[in-house]
Amino acid sequence: MTQSCPSTGAAVSISIAVLTHNETREFKWLMGSLEVAKELIDEIVIVDDYSDVEFLDVVQSFKVDWPIKFFQRRLNKNFAAQRNFAKSQCTGRLIFFPDADEIPSARILVGLPTLLAWMESNDVDVCYLPRLNIVTREEEIRDPPTVTPKDTIFSSWEDQVRILRNLSKLKFVKRIDEGLYGFEGVYRFPQSQDFALLHVKTQSRVSRQNAFYRSFRARRMTKLWNSFAKRTFRIERPRPISFPPPV
């Protein structure tokens, strides 16, 4: 099933791409965080792994005010293929890939048009964003910005490729921990909450997701990964860009 908002005919610069599956509360929080950049976002591409009716109703409600393009596609334990499909449906020159259970920083969101211009001027293909992972003491997840240090059992930083120019040479590979290959110029934002993806989970959710991810690792790597990686590792020449945060 494919649904999309009517075209305005205007050039598309900023695409948001989100993979979803029954994350109703988290998706509402994500959409709330995007409000700060509502006038800057040209389209939101949602690729959904056949969520329940409650989630579909929520997406439908957001389509009233947001330029949402909605697709349903089986994940089939292959996040790379799902991300590549989402990328293929984006028409913006810049694509931002937040997960449904992440809250992007306002500074990154409002800076996306500036970042796009800077990336194009400096031949930067992709940007790594810092993700702040937080595991809470509570068993009920709540809006991530309301979580305080006293609620936290564990926290850690990691860097993830989440912003990329819409270039055909860029492909996601591997079913899980889907790496992006084919890029050259790369910029890493510093590990600061000014630029962070806020990622909050309960202990029980972490356990469930870890079990799910282990089922991926038990499978052999895909033909896509084997063939693409063999070519990529010979020719890939990432070029780190040293520069103060451009937004």
Q: State pTM to two decimals.
A: 0.86
Tens of pLDDT, residue by residue, the chain (247 residues): 333 333 444 567 999 999 999 999 999 999 999 999 999 999 999 999 999 999 999 999 999 999 999 999 999 989 999 999 999 999 999 999 999 999 999 999 999 999 999 999 999 999 999 999 998 887 777 888 888 887 888 899 999 999 999 999 999 988 877 789 999 999 999 999 999 999 998 776 655 665 655 665 544 445 554 455 555 544 457 899 999 999 9
Q: What domains are defined for the chain?
A: 2-240 (3.90.550.10)
| 3-state per-residue secondary structure call for the chain | CEEECCCCCCCCCEEEEEEECCCHHHHHHHHHHHHHHCCCCCEEEEEECCCCHHHHHHHHHHCCCCCEEEEECCCCCCHHHHHHHHHHHCCCCEEECCCCCEEECHHHHHCHHHHHHHHHHCCCCEEEEEEEEEEECCCCCCCHHHCCHHHEEEEEEEEEEEEEECCCCCEEECCCCCEEECCCEEEECCCCCCCCEEEEEEHHHHHHHHHHHHHHHCCCCCHHHHHHHHHHHHHCCCEECCCCCCC
